[in-house]
Amino acid sequence: MRAYPLSLDGTPPPARTQRTWRRFFLRHLTNIAILLMVALLVGIVLYPHVVMTVPSGHVGLLWKRFRGGTTIDPKQLSDEGLRLIMPWNKLFLYDLRLQSTTETYNAITKDGVSLSAAINIRFRLKHHAIPQLHQSIGPNYISTLVVPEIGNRMREVIAEYTAEQVYSTARQEIQDRIRQRAVAMLGEKMVERTADQSEFGDQYRIPLYEMLNLIDTLVLGIELPPSVVTAINRKIEQYYISEEYTFRVAREVKESERKKVEAEGIREFQTIVSQGISDSYLRWRGIEATLQLAQSSNSKVVIVGGGKDGLPIILGNVDSPPLHHERPPTEGDPSKERPTAARPGTPSEKVPAAGLSTPAEKTPSAEPQVPRSTFPFPLTWAELENILSRIGGTGSAAPEAAPPPRPLTPEAAPPPKPLSERPPVAPPR
C-alpha cells in the first residue's frame, strides 16, 4: 500500500482530480476543437448582423422581423454608439446632418429658349419623422422625393422669366422662389397611415415638410445656347456704351459750368486789380525791382534812363511811343509838316501845366531820319558821322555846330532834295 503525503489541514492532495480532468480533455480534444471552430464561424458570420455601430450624427431605426416590422415610436430609435440586435432584425441608419446634392435640370424660358441649370439642394432630416419617412418613402428619399420636387418647382419658376433675365439679373430671385415653392408644395402633400393598414394600430398623417427641412436651393450655373448668349452680351454692351455717352454729356455740361465760373472769377479779379493798381504803384514796384537787380551778385547789364521816369529799360518801355521811319513831306503839301519839341529835363508829370513850354515847329531836314538807338547818351547823325570819320581817318575837323532851328512857314520851307543828291548813309557799327 502506497503512502500519500498529507496536507496541513489533513486532506489528501487533489492529484486524482487533476488527473481525471486531464484524461477527459485528452479523450474529447477533437470534439472540443470542432465545437470551438463552429462557434467561431458562427460568431464571424453573425457579427455584422448582431453588433451594430451608429456613427456620429446618425440615428438607427430598428426593423423587427417577428414583432411588427418598423418601430414607429421615435423614442425607440438607436442613437450614436454600439448596439446589439437580434440577427434576424435590421437596423437602418439615417444621416441627420446637413446634406447636399447637385442636379442638372432642363427648362424652357418665357420666350421659348431652352436652357440647362445646375442647382445645389441643401436639406436636413428631422429626427422625430424618421420612422414615417422610412415606412412611406424609404432610404432612397433623395432620388424619390427631393430631386423630382425641386426640378418641378424650378421649371415652373424659369417659365416666368425671359432668357436675358435668367442669364443676368434675376438669378437670386429665381433661387429664392424655387425654395419657397418647394416648401409650399411639401407642406401641401401629406403622408398618412390608417389603423386598417397597421396590425398594431399605429397610424399617422403628417406633411412631407415635417420629414425634412429644406435649407436652400442654389443656382450654380445656367447654360444658354451660344447664339443667345452672344446676342445678350452685345445688347448689354450697347447699353453700357449709351450710358457712357450720357455721362460724357453730363461731364461736358459740368465742364462748361466750371469754365463759366472760372471766367467770372477772372473778370472780378481783373476788375479789383485794375481799380487798385495806379501809375505810382507801378513806378514804386519798378524802383524796388531796380534795387534788387543792383544788389544781385550775378553778372548783368542794366540800361538806366531809357524808360519813363528814368526806370530801366528792362522794366519795359510800354509808355514810350514807337519809332517809325517817316517819309519827308512833298512840295506844296503843308499838311506833312511835323512839329518837334525838345525833351524837357524834368518829367512832364512833375511840371505844372502853366510852366510847360510850347513846342517849336521846325521843317523837316533833307537828311534821312535814322531811328534812335538806346544808349546811355543820345547821339545825332552828325556826331555819328564824326565818330566814324575819326575811326576811319578820313577827317579830323569837328563838324560845325548847326544853327538853332527856327520856325518856318510852309511858303518859306525849301524844297526837299532829290534822292540822287542826298549823301550816302553809312551803317552804324
CATH number at residue 204: 3.30.479.30
* Total residues belonging to the chain: 429
> Does 297 fall in a domain?
no
Greatest pairwise CA separation for the chain in angstroms: 204
Residues 109 and 214 in one domain: yes
Owning domain of residue 107: 98-224
Is pTM beyond 0.85 here?
Answer: no
Do both 32 and 138 map to the same domain?
no
Residues 106 and 210 in one domain: yes
174 in any annotated domain:
yes
188 domain-assigned? yes
> How many distinct structural domains can be found in the chain?
2
Residues 41 and 128 in one domain: no
Same domain assignment for residues 104 and 45: no
Indicate whether 373 belongs to any domain. Answer: no
Q: Is the domain of 43 the same as that of 151? A: no
Question: Nearest-CA neighbor of 93 among 129, 30, 152, 139?
Answer: 139
Contact 96, 57 (CB under 8 A): yes
Final residue belonging to a domain, choices 205, 224, 243: 224
HEC profile for the chain?
CCCCCCCCCCCCCCHHHHHHHHHHHHHCHHHHHHHHHHHHHHHHHHHHHHEEEECCCEEEEEEECCCCEECCCHHHCECCEEEECCCCCEEEEEECCCEEEEEEEEEECCCCCEEEEEEEEEEEECHHHHHHHHHHCCCCHHHHHHHHHHHHHHHHHHCCCCHHHHHHHCHHHHHHHHHHHHHHHHHHCEEEECHHHCCCCCCEEEEHHHCEEEEEEEEEEEECCHHHHHHHHHHHHHHHHHHHHHHHHHHHHHHHHHHHHHHHHHHHHHHHHHHHCCHHHHHHHHHHHHHHHHHCCCCCCCCCCCCHHHCCHHHCCCCCCCCCCCCCCCCCCHHHCCCCCCCCCCCHHHCCCCCCCCCCCCCCCCCCCCCCCCCCCCCCHHHHHHHHHHHHCCCCCCCCCCCCCCCCCCCCCCCCCCHHHCCCCCCCC
Indicate whether 330 belongs to any domain: no
**Domain C-terminal end among 224, 259, 279:** 224
At residue 172's C-alpha, the angle toward residues 170 and 178, to 5°, is 95
Residue 107 shares a structural domain with residue 194: yes
In a domain, 151, yes or no: yes
Check if the beta carbon of residue 118 is closer than 8 Å to that of residue 159: no
Contact criterion met (CB below 8 Å) for 425 and 370: yes
Give me the pLDDT at residue 334, please. Answer: 46
* Regions of the chain short of the pLDDT cut 70: 1-18, 195-202, 299-381, 384, 391-429
pLDDT score at 18: 64
The closest alpha carbon to 56, from 75, 80, 40, belongs to 80
Does 303 fall in a domain? no
Q: How far is CA 100 from CA 141, 155, 171, in A?
A: 13, 20, 20
Q: Is 267 within 8 Å of 273 (Cβ atoms)? A: no
Q: pLDDT value at position 258?
A: 94
Question: Do 119 and 214 fall within a single domain?
Answer: yes
Judge if 220 and 106 occupy the same domain: yes
Which of 115, 184, 190 minimizes the C-alpha distance to 155? 115
Do residues 30 and 106 share a domain? no
Does 36 lie in the same domain as 110? no
Dihedral in degrees, nearest 10, Cα atoms 75, 77, 80, 86: 130
Whether residues 105 and 217 fall in one domain: yes
> Sign (positive/negative) of CA torsion 400, 406, 409, 410?
positive
- Is residue 378 one of the residues assigned to a domain? no
